[in-house]
Amino acid sequence: MQKTDSKIIVALDMANETEVLTLTEQLNPQQCRLKVGKALFVSCGTQIVKRLIKDGFDVFLDLKFHDIPNTVTNACLAAQALGAWMVNVHCLGGRRMLESVANAYANIQGDKPLLIAVTLLTSMQQQDLTDIGINTPLGEQAMLLAALAKDTGMDGVVCSGHEVTSIKQQLGSNFLCVTPGIRLPDNSHDDQRRIMTPQQAIRAGSDYLVIGRAITTANNPSMVCEKINVDINK
């Protein structure tokens, strides 16, 4: 299923098919992968995922499944049948949910998506945890959830770049870290809090970088992808 070695995942955080295809026509499947999130999926359904895969892109289906084990497992199996390259679930769904999905994927013969668990959203700060009754320090909580993901058979986690080094040290270099909250040095932080530049995240050990507006709003998105690829491979 994998079509490129690029570490860039372009976040298609829009809900208009024409807008999306206008952007992706400017991108090279050899230079990046694509992330389809909730807004785009709800607006355009499976057809947009099929179209992007047909156009040669690896697609990360970013729907952050979090439900009872059977429901999440069936959703992840549907994502596999759709041809997704990567799919994610929420660690906070708990051990039984995570194990159910991992066991179902273990029985698949042939290609299957990378199975990634979300630890804590990069928009969250310590107060956000306190508000929902979690008093563990943010970094420690992210590590606890990452360890749960590893123990239940996930391929890796979505996590802040600030947690990557610790995760790699404690859970092994082969445990994947997918890092959102990536901003170029001259970008605004928008609604993210725990951010890093592409070079910082790669040095920390990130395997994949989720990059949105820095690419999607650029005058020349392909050129930005090319520059980032060069910079992170120096």
Distances (CA, A) of 58 to 3, 33, 62, 67, 113: 6, 5, 12, 26, 10
Q: How far apart are CA 188 and CA 109, in angstroms?
A: 44
Q: How far apart are CA 163 and CA 172, in angstroms?
A: 13
Tell me which long-range contacts 127-136 makes (C-beta under 8 A, separation of at least 24): none
The residue annotated as part of the active site, out of 35, 64, 112, 150, is 64
Q: Among this protein's residues, is 64 annotated catalytic? A: yes
Helix/strand/coil percentages in the chain, nearest 5? 45, 15, 40
For the annotated catalytic residues, the residue numbers are 64
